[in-house]
Structure 1
Amino acid sequence: MSVYDDKPWLARYAPGQPAAITVEFDNALAMFRSSVERNPNGDAIRYFDGRISLRELDELTDAFAAALLDTGFTKGDRVALYLQNVPQFVIAQIGTWKAGGIAVSVNPMNRERELELLLRDSGARVLVCLQSLYRDVAATVLGNTDVQTVITTSELEYQTRNDQRVFSGVERISCEGTLDMAELLARCAGRRPPTVELAPDDVAFLTYTSGTTGPPKGAMTTHRNVVFNAQAYRDWIGLGQDDVILGVAPLFHITGLVGHIAISLLIGAPLVLMYRLDPTLTIETIRDERATFTVGSITVFIALMNAPNADKDALASLTKIYSGGAPIPPSTVKAFQSTFGHYIHNIYGLTETTSPSHAVPLGAQAPVDEASGALSVGVPIYNTIVRIVGDDGQDLPPGEIGELVTSGPQVVAGYWNKPEETEKALPGGALHTGDVGYMDENGWFYIVDRKKDQINAGGYKVWPREVEDVLYEHEAVREAAVVGVPDPYRGETVKAFVSLRPGRTATADELIAFCKERMAAYKYPRQIEFLDEIPKTVTGKLLRRELRAREQQKQTV
């Protein structure tokens, strides 16, 4: 189709944009070094009242790399980053690259079982984590992993403001048997690690995703992937050194890794971090730092609209806004524009596409599907071909619904140590996304459903089987089936249908609390419904689709 190859939408919606771009750097470290050379005294990171210049970040990451090499670290080894949105995340990531390593992003909401699974699967030799996460979670699981060195740090470093809206109850603690990151960097200050050769196809980081087929898999994001999509963000949105990037997405997530860190390293613009999202603090930060660009889940922007200090003047500088990770109701876009005067541009991608494969051109407004009310996720970005295919694998014409299959420089190399999963999801290097949608005659794409049972709760992906497995650990639970149900704030939320063992009792609150103790906050079920029998096929397979249909009927009554 001409819309894939000739991209006429570029002339229509983004005049002057090329259909393809040429990547300027071989690896992510090279693009960072270029920014240091251009503007060494410019801010790289702003963290409350703290500032780290590009030169200082270069020196800190040199020291981190030297420290890693002192432990016997070699090229290709993995460093797990179990951190919130703090400067140490960026320091450790770049330092890992300088030592020739691969960074492994770990959700700081993960609990023991989840953390152990990721550490064991990645084979990480080094763990960098917050002191509180080491004390409360990591210390109990490391004996079952390949981790040999643990580096702990405090969220109180690199700032003195100690804003109690996010730091209430936070204190520095001693973690016996670990290396303190501040002391480590001070001890290695001034040292330069040997130059490492990073090829475009070397893995830059592993980002774990439930993908479309179940248990977490480590997507192997290469330096080629990172550099291409960092440049795609830059050129698509028109970002430059004078911009200020507001870091509202979690840094462990592909959006934070690329839409915050990588683009900041490429253009040499400051990245503003706030540890955790607090709506009132975020609005103040936008005003004080004159932030110009951000990308995050729609739940972030809903929270900003509902903050007590929601103020149009405070957000006057934030003119380049993108949102992805979860469906965006058109009514929310209109409400945000009414409140703050700025349009939220949709952007779409997956972990396996290193953030965007589609985006709304800056200044354009996405159309809305008349039948479903869905907002378009945009059009394919540079160098990207997206096909809509039927069950037979054949291309479908505009307007026909099928699975999105994406090819482009941002598609990852595969899944870590999972060749069968790689071949299934990426045959021939084309990503079968598992998302179902269509393209209209003008080249706009719409996501109308998901092919599998994955739940999308505010941009976080939840696999039902994982929640069910935890429920089955409760002594009163006989059977459990988990589905996603509509939620006005998160898009979807997790609901569990449970049948109890004969003679056993349990309340919904008890089961919710049981899961909450064992899972990341976004995964545990918010709703529990008890059934005498959970619907199943004759072979005993749980019928989640029937449970979803029941919920949909409730919504229409």
Structure 2
Amino acid sequence: MDSTNSETSKFANLAEFQRRTPPPEPLGRLLARAAERFGRRPHLTFLNRTWTFEQTHDLAGRLSAGLQAHGVGADDRVGVCLANLPHYPLACFALWGLGAAGVGMNPLYSLRQLSGIAVDSGVRWVVTSDHPASIGKLRELAAQVGCRLIVCRADAADLAGGPPPDLCDGEVALSDLLEAAPARGWGEPEVEALAMIQYTGGTTGAPKGAMLSHRNIWFAAHQIRNWLHRIRDGREAWYAAAPFSHITGLVNYIVEPAIVGGEAILTERFSPRELLELVRQGRLTILTAIPTMLSAIVAEPDAGELDWSGVIHVLVGGAPVPLELARRFHDLTGLWPQQGYAMTETSGSGVAMPSSAVPGHECATGLPMHDVPIEIRSVDDPGRRMGPGEPGEVCFGGPNVIASYWNRPLTDNELTPDGLFRSGDVGYLSEDGALYVVDRLKDVIICSGYNVYPRTIEDAVLEHPAVAETVAVGAPDDYRGETVLSVVTLRPGASLSLPELQDFLREKLSPIEMPKRLEILDAIPKTENAKLSRQAIRAMFSTAAPAPA
């Protein structure tokens, strides 16, 4: 979208989001520069301990030297299987300084998933913690695939002079690696060097390792920083709740604070009470969230009583933000959630909305960030560009888009003939350039031959005052092929029946979109990254509905 729109455009202020990104550099230089500019500013806070930029730069340099002494060098890959502990960003910057790459591994994954990632990426070392919920699994992993473990303390006491964790044979304490002097020549790999392998797509097939270069991540982080135009260098604080092993956590909580001298307040697991306490204290200024986090916030009885004026941006991604949820959040906090949309393959940047509602575009997914071409291509012919308002597959270009997966190139199913990345999502562009993502191609419900988009149904169902969260899926149906199943959780004290819901939706949905089944759960299953899990819902309700008499 052209940033020189006339003043009559709804997006006439877009230019303020479109500052140009500086030339890319190795990611290690971000921390080195932050240590110079913001040395004594808080960088990482965890369990009431805070490390300044000077301290984290020194620790990362020492960890880099310790890894080097154990044979880790340029082009090696090291697994990082940690919750949101301060050791995670230290490991990333230490590896990036060596020219080695991290491999993101979620400690909540099963042993089978972790083993698949470790074997595919060829890691020889994995950084993990002594947390009792994961250390046994990681030791089994090490025995299975022949890698070695670098173990840290789950309470981070080893970074504050405390004792090291208990080790088994062949394991190395991370604190022992910190005994080395900082590495020389730290932070000097080429910008095209591999920085991180992030695995994606594991719920729909074999996980694919997205190869993120220093250049990819640099551009993505600066694109997001430029879009969040109210950021003030040396003054911001993020509540780091999204997993570091996810692209959102990696870019927004590890790289972004190093660019602007901001504080990352780490938490192993999202807690709405913890977040509200940070708001109450005036410590939180930027919230990067997923819709389920917003749902949890609006469910807290005192959320609307707090002063939210210190929060300058609320960026929400990972899944579409239903309009009704955005309205509820705004009514309580005075803040409009900035819907964003990106993928691991786009390094976590892509499109986002301004920080206030745009009349007529309250349901839009976002506007393209600087240097992120977005085009809509025909699902049947990805070489054909669709016009404004015409739905098709959303396709990405730009310097933030990966060039390949690990161990295999991108295929024609993933690229258009002219090289844009195919998202697998259905969407359209408005006349004035706003992107509307309708749904995942694979999530489309086909009822009696008609395409039905779950998001349309979910947005309408969520408007019902009794509904707290909802997922719509296609359930097998002997007569229609598939029928719409609406799965909901209810707000405290509420009740709901299928006839009541259908009556409420009659003016909002067409007959083909109308839910024919309703299931009420105490909690909707979620993925390891806290997204509502359609896959789990489909597995729970896979029985076909009876045909009509």
Identify whether the pair has TM-score above 0.5, normalized to the shorter chain. Answer: yes
Write the letter of the residue equivalent to 1:68: L
Question: Match for 1:234 among 222, 225, 230?
Answer: 225
Describe the shift of the 1:176–1:525 C-alpha distance in structure 2 as closer, same or farther (beyond 3 A).
same
Contact in 2 for aligned 1:493/1:525 (Cα 8 Å): no
Does residue 426 (structure 1) correspond to residue 418 (structure 2)? The answer is no
Write the letter of the residue equivalent to 2:367: V
Match of 1:53 in 2: 52
Question: Match for 1:215 among 199, 206, 227?
Answer: 206
1:127-175, Cα deviation, whole Å (9 max, x unpaired):
011213553311112233252x3111222115999xxxxxxxxx99623
Match of 1:377 in 2: 365
1:287-308, Cα deviation, whole Å (9 max, x unpaired):
3352111211011111112135
Describe the shift of the 1:49–1:360 C-alpha distance in structure 2 as closer, same or farther (beyond 3 A).
same
Contact in 2 for aligned 1:47/1:159 (Cα 8 Å): no
Does residue 40 (structure 1) correspond to residue 43 (structure 2)? The answer is no
Describe the shift of the 1:310–1:364 C-alpha distance in structure 2 as closer, same or farther (beyond 3 A).
closer
Write the letter of the residue equivalent to 1:376: A
Moved more, 65-74 or 14-23: 14-23
- Secondary structure of the 1:399 match is coil
1:168-204, Cα deviation, whole Å (9 max, x unpaired):
xxx996231322223432x22x433443532121111
Under a length normalisation based on structure 1, what TM-score does the superposition of the two structures give? 0.76
Instruction: Give the distance between the partners of 1:309 and 1:93, measured in 2 at CA.
Output: 38
Write the letter of the residue equivalent to 2:197: L
Instruction: Give the distance between the partners of 2:115 and 2:472, measured in 1 at CA.
Output: 25
Contact in 1 for aligned 2:238/2:253 (Cα 8 Å): yes
Match of 1:175 in 2: 167
Does residue 319 (structure 1) correspond to residue 330 (structure 2)? The answer is no
- Secondary structure of the 1:85 match is coil
Instruction: Give the distance between the partners of 2:301 and 2:167, measured in 1 at CA.
Output: 38
Match of 1:304 in 2: 297
- Secondary structure of the 1:220 match is strand
Match of 1:280 in 2: 273
Match of 2:384 in 1: 394
Contact in 2 for aligned 1:86/1:275 (Cα 8 Å): yes
Describe the shift of the 1:332–1:199 C-alpha distance in structure 2 as closer, same or farther (beyond 3 A).
same
1:358-409, Cα deviation, whole Å (9 max, x unpaired):
011234537458xxxxx21111010111111112221111000000111111
Instruction: Give the distance between the partners of 2:326 and 2:236, measured in 1 at CA.
Output: 23
- Secondary structure of the 2:40 match is coil
Instruction: Give the distance between the partners of 1:15 and 1:453, measured in 2 at CA.
Output: 32
Contact in 2 for aligned 1:83/1:108 (Cα 8 Å): yes
- Secondary structure of the 2:300 match is coil
Match of 2:142 in 1: 142
1:416-465, Cα deviation, whole Å (9 max, x unpaired):
1112x45541355421111111011111111112122599xxxxxxxxxx
Match of 2:109 in 1: 110
Instruction: Give the distance between the partners of 1:490 and 1:91, measured in 2 at CA.
Output: 36
Instruction: Give the distance between the partners of 2:444 and 2:204, measured in 1 at CA.
Output: 9
1:15 Cα deviation after fit: 4.8
1:19 Cα deviation after fit: 4.9
Instruction: Give the distance between the partners of 2:203 and 2:375, measured in 1 at CA.
Output: 18
Question: Match for 1:333 among 318, 326, 336?
Answer: 326
Contact in 2 for aligned 1:398/1:440 (Cα 8 Å): yes
1:249 Cα deviation after fit: 1.5
Does residue 403 (structure 1) correspond to residue 393 (structure 2)? The answer is yes
- Secondary structure of the 2:44 match is strand
Write the letter of the residue equivalent to 2:172: L
- Secondary structure of the 1:104 match is strand
Contact in 1 for aligned 2:97/2:188 (Cα 8 Å): no
Under a length normalisation based on structure 2, what TM-score does the superposition of the two structures give? 0.77
1:11 Cα deviation after fit: 8.2
Match of 1:97 in 2: 96
Instruction: Give the distance between the partners of 2:360 and 2:10, measured in 1 at CA.
Output: 17
Describe the shift of the 1:207–1:288 C-alpha distance in structure 2 as closer, same or farther (beyond 3 A).
same
- Secondary structure of the 1:356 match is coil
Contact in 1 for aligned 2:198/2:246 (Cα 8 Å): yes
1:412 Cα deviation after fit: 1.2
Alignment map for 1:178-189 (pairs within 5 Å): 178-185=171-178, 187-188=179-180
Match of 1:542 in 2: none
Does residue 261 (structure 1) correspond to residue 272 (structure 2)? The answer is no
Contact in 1 for aligned 2:196/2:212 (Cα 8 Å): yes
Describe the shift of the 1:138–1:380 C-alpha distance in structure 2 as closer, same or farther (beyond 3 A).
same
Write the letter of the residue equivalent to 1:300: M
Contact in 2 for aligned 1:280/1:308 (Cα 8 Å): no
Write the letter of the residue equivalent to 1:452: K
Match of 1:120 in 2: 119
1:291-337, Cα deviation, whole Å (9 max, x unpaired):
11121101111111213542442533112111011111111111111
Write the letter of the residue equivalent to 2:377: V
Does residue 65 (structure 1) correspond to residue 64 (structure 2)? The answer is yes
Describe the shift of the 1:389–1:495 C-alpha distance in structure 2 as closer, same or farther (beyond 3 A).
closer
Contact in 2 for aligned 1:360/1:378 (Cα 8 Å): yes
Moved more, 394-403 or 238-247: 238-247
Instruction: Give the distance between the partners of 1:266 and 1:254, measured in 2 at CA.
Output: 17
Match of 1:355 in 2: 348
Does residue 414 (structure 1) correspond to residue 404 (structure 2)? The answer is yes
Contact in 1 for aligned 2:128/2:135 (Cα 8 Å): no
Does residue 528 (structure 1) correspond to residue 518 (structure 2)? The answer is no
Instruction: Give the distance between the partners of 1:194 and 1:385, measured in 2 at CA.
Output: 36
Instruction: Give the distance between the partners of 2:269 and 2:122, measured in 1 at CA.
Output: 28
Describe the shift of the 1:291–1:184 C-alpha distance in structure 2 as closer, same or farther (beyond 3 A).
same
Contact in 2 for aligned 1:156/1:172 (Cα 8 Å): no
Match of 1:195 in 2: 186
- Secondary structure of the 2:303 match is coil
1:53-108, Cα deviation, whole Å (9 max, x unpaired):
00100111011111111111120111111111111111111111122210111112
- Secondary structure of the 1:525 match is helix
> Alpha carbon RMSD of aligned pairs, Å?
3.5
- Secondary structure of the 1:224 match is helix
Count of equivalent residues: 471
Match of 1:538 in 2: none
Write the letter of the residue equivalent to 2:189: L
